[in-house]
């Protein structure tokens, strides 16, 4: 993989800048936007970026950092799902706590925002408290967002319980946007000043990147990633007016800045040091870019991936047509086509060829994968396994120099599994999916040296690109993610079934 980003340089620059910012205060509340862990978007658009760069950064500062996690009660009630993991926000909070602890970071508490006694949220609160997790409940802030006098009063932020913290940097994070991170930071600021302490607020938002051009593919890829939020990148007019320098931010931060500035000034009783939304940020990711052309191309490819992803989400009913149309416009803005993704044409051609050979008028799923050595392989669905499983086996055979006509998995292993699925578990989808095939391969590897060699090549699939001609099951999506393969799909279901789709 061609590298366009220097991870070590970024970590050094970023940690230094955060420490400089915290020196101005007794305590700094640092709002973390985006993904704290597994930032796969950043990894894809900035080749060389470590998907866990933020958590490694915090680990470097662990003696000075504690973490508060926010989650909006409404997201728990409607079972909102984090798309890249396929898990609900409440479950993601549990995962986040475990991951933070594994990196030796102090998790202070969980804040339930805009809580109003919602039943599912109450159950979640009980679950946390009974596992020894401290929970704070914040109601909707009275007067927000325009009535600053009420917001900054005992009737506004003053009604929220004060979160007891002990370290100079308090990172406030969440499973996703709209979780109440900003309100939690400002509420804490209010209480700190009431107690006579000097506290500050800053924002750590990786995208858009403020010091690359507005229409740089890197920033356009961010718009594609947040199309459902209707985020739009804009020139930070406040920054330009104050410093006569061009800086990029996004519409929500720019629109709310005047009110946010007034709230901070009302809390602190003095003029804010921040003259623009850009001033509030501590993001230094732009300084880690070492090859702009590589980043541009990676960002274009990410836009195409987002286009396919949004198309599938629209087909499933998760997003509206406006969101899908917006990503299409972004594709057109960059003069991109679906087939600019190398694996799309081979997958579609293989599917079309299978359909010509078929005696039935049915969808013929196929998957193409581009490996790190540039090879492109395909796989098809059969009565034994689905196309994703087939293409993975073909890929490990390729790396292990194993002939196509050699079976890696013995029928003695496959038949009992298929029988279990169809006859005992009464599954309507008897072909084995990707995870099931990999488990069968690992069993065969115990007695079959050829299968063992193939199994050892799985790690070489990391960074590969793939495309499916049909929508994948959630299980296959997750398996490909775990293998480090970026896969897209055409927005077409593999069967006409509404419930029993593969």
**DSSP assignment letter at 397:** H
Average pLDDT, the chain: 93
Q: CB of 390 within 8 A of CB of 367?
A: yes
State the CATH number of the domain containing residue 239: 3.10.630.10
pLDDT at 500 over 70: no
pLDDT per residue over 133-158, tens digit each?
A: 999 999 999 998 889 999 999 999 99
Q: What is the domain count for the chain? A: 2
Confidence at residue 496, expressed as pLDDT on a 0 to 100 scale: 82
Tens digits of per-residue pLDDT, 249-283?
999 899 999 999 999 999 999 999 999 999 999 99
Are 225 and 352 in the same domain? no
Is residue 333 in a domain?
no
Residue 399 above 70 pLDDT? yes
DSSP code at position 317? T
Q: What is the pLDDT of residues 296-318, one digit of tens each?
A: 999 999 999 999 999 999 999 98
pLDDT at 235 over 90: yes
CATH of the domain at 386: 3.40.140.40
Q: Are residues 374 and 227 in the same domain?
A: no
Residue 312 φ then ψ, to 5°: -70, -40
CA distances from 255 to 145, 216, 288 (A): 11, 22, 28
pLDDT of residue 126: 97
Report CA torsion sign: 214, 217, 223, 225: negative
Q: What percent of the chain has pLDDT over 90?
A: 83
Cis peptide bond N-terminal to 145, omega within 30? yes
How many residues comprise the chain? 502
DSSP letter string, 237-285: HHHHHHHS---EEEHHHHHHHHHHHHHHHHHHSS--S--SHHHHB---G
The pLDDT of 324-332, averaged and rounded, is 97
Is residue 231 scored above 90 in pLDDT? no
What does the alpha-carbon distance between residue 105 and residue 67 come to, in Å, rounded to a whole number?
A: 7
CA dist., res. 152 & res. 187, Å (int): 8
pLDDT at 230: 87
Contact indicator for 397, 404 with CB cutoff of 8 Å = yes
Q: Residue 221 pLDDT more than 60?
A: yes
pLDDT in tens, 50-109: 999 999 999 999 999 999 999 999 999 998 887 667 789 999 999 999 999 999 999 999
Beta-ladder partners of 88: 81
Give, as one character, the DSSP assignment of residue 215: T
Please give the pLDDT value at position 502: 55
Q: What is the mean pLDDT of residues 311-340?
A: 96
**Whole-angstrom distance, CA of residue 386 vs CA of residue 389:** 6
Angle at 135 between CA 130 and CA 137, to 5 degrees: 130
Q: Which of 288, 303, 322 corresponds to the end of one domain? A: 288
pLDDT at 86: 75
Show which of 246, 266, 288 is a domain's final residue: 288
Range of the domain at 200: 7-288
In sequence order, the 6+-apart residues with CB closer than 8 A to the CB of 486 are: 44, 305, 464, 465, 466, 480
Q: Which of 388, 349, 385, 345 is nearest to 367 (CA)?
A: 388
Model confidence at 34, in pLDDT bands (50, 70, 90)? confident
Q: Which phi and psi angles does 106 have, rounded to 5°?
A: -80, 115
Is 336 within the bounds of a domain? no
Does a structural domain hold residue 320? no
Within-domain flag for 225: yes
Residue 177 has pLDDT above 90, yes or no: no
Global pTM value: 0.91
Rounded-to-integer distance, Cα 30 and Cα 326, Å: 31
Question: Of 245, 268, 288, which residue sits at a domain end?
Answer: 288
**266 and 356 share a domain?**
no
pLDDT tens digits, 444-453: 999 999 999 9
Torsion of CA 278, 111, 226, 238, to 10 degrees: -20
């Amino acid at each position: 993989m061609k590298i366009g980003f220097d991870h070590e340089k970024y970590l050094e620059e970023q940690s230094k800048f955060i420490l400089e910012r915290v020196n101005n205060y007794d305590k700094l509340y640092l709002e973390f936007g985006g993904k704290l862990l597994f930032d796969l978007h950043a990894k894809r658009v900035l080749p060389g970026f470590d998907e866990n760069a933020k958590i490694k950064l915090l680990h470097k500062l662990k003696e000075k950092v504690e973490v508060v996690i926010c989650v909006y009660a409404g997201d728990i009630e409607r079972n909102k799902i984090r798309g890249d993991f396929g898990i609900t926000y409440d479950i993601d909070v549990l995962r986040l706590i475990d991951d933070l602890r594994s990196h030796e970071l102090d998790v202070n508490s969980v804040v339930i925002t805009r809580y109003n006694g919602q039943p599912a949220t109450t159950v979640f609160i009980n679950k946390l408290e009974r596992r020894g997790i401290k929970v704070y409940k914040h109601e909707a802030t009275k007067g927000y967002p325009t009535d600053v006098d009420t917001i900054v009063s005992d009737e506004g932020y003053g009604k929220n319980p004060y979160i007891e913290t002990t370290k100079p940097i308090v990172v406030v994070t969440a499973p996703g946007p709209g979780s109440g991170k900003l309100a939690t930071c400002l509420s804490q600021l209010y209480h700190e000043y009431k107690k006579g302490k000097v506290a500050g607020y800053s924002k750590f938002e990786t995208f858009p990147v403020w010091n690359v051009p507005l229409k740089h593919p890197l920033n356009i890829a961010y718009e594609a990633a947040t199309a459902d939020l209707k985020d739009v990148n804009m020139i930070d007019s406040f920054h330009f007016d104050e410093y006569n320098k061009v800086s990029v931010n996004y519409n929500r931060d720019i629109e709310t800045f005047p009110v946010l500035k007034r709230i901070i000034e009302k809390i602190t009783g003095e003029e804010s040091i921040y003259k623009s939304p850009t001033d509030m940020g501590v993001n230094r990711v732009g300084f880690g870019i070492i090859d702009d052309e590589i980043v541009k191309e990676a960002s274009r490819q990410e836009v195409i991936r987002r286009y396919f992803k949004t198309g599938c989400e629209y087909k499933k009913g998760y997003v509206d047509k406006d969101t899908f149309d917006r990503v299409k416009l972004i594709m057109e803005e960059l003069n991109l086509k679906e087939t600019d993704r190398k694996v799309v044409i081979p997958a579609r051609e293989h599917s079309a060829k299978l359909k010509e050979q078929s005696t039935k008028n049915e969808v013929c799923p196929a998957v193409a994968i581009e490996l790190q050595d540039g090879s492109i392989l395909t796989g098809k669905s059969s009565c034994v396994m689905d196309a994703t499983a087939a293409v993975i086996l073909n890929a490990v055979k390729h790396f292990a120099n194993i002939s196509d006509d050699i079976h890696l998995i013995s029928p003695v292993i496959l038949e009992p599994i298929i029988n279990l699925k169809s006859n005992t578990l009464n599954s309507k989808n008897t072909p084995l999916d990707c995870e099931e095939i990999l488990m069968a391969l690992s069993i065969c590897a115990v007695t079959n040296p050829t299968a063992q060699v193939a199994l050892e090549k799985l790690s070489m699939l990391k960074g590969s690109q793939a495309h499916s001609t049909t929508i994948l099951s959630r299980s296959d999506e997750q398996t490909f993610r775990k293998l480090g393969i970026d896969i897209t799909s055409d927005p077409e279901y593999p069967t006409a079934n509404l419930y029993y789709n593969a």
